[in-house]
Amino acid sequence: MDNDYTGQLIFSGDAQGCIYTVSINSHIGSISRSHKNRSMRSKSLITTVQYRTFSLVARCPVLLVCAQDGNICFFSVALEIKGYLTLLCSLKLALRLHSIHASFCPLLSLEKGEFIGT
């Protein structure tokens, strides 16, 4: 689970490979599901959801999602449409015995684009 820099959007994943965008209005105390995304090809547990404010590759906010079966997806995030996700690219890692997690590598990504560690 991760949130945008304003704290108004929360991104999370479930055990069936769905990614949810949840909107929060702290002024009136309301929480509502904005979007449900089923772009993950498999129905595998989401192990990583990581938001990043800006990407050199996408030129917009992005979301990195990794599933237990080795699928990694990279989404652009439309903040003006309450966190609507658009799949930019995906790749499949070889299966491993242990759970797979992914993360942005901030220092490398600033210089050359997106580096993702698993």
Find where tokens 């210089």 sit: 111
Is the whole-model pTM more than 0.75?
A: yes
Residue 58, by phi and psi: left (phi above 0), alpha (psi -120 to 50) or beta?
alpha
Q: Is 79 helix (H, G, I), strand (E, B) or coil?
A: helix
Q: What is the pLDDT of residue 23?
A: 92
Please report, for the chain, the start and end positions of each structural domain, with discontinuous segments joined by +: 2-117
Instruction: Give residue-wise pLDDT tens across range 5-52.
Output: 888 899 999 999 899 999 998 888 888 888 888 876 678 889 889 898
Has domain 2-117 been given CATH number 3.40.50.300? Answer: no
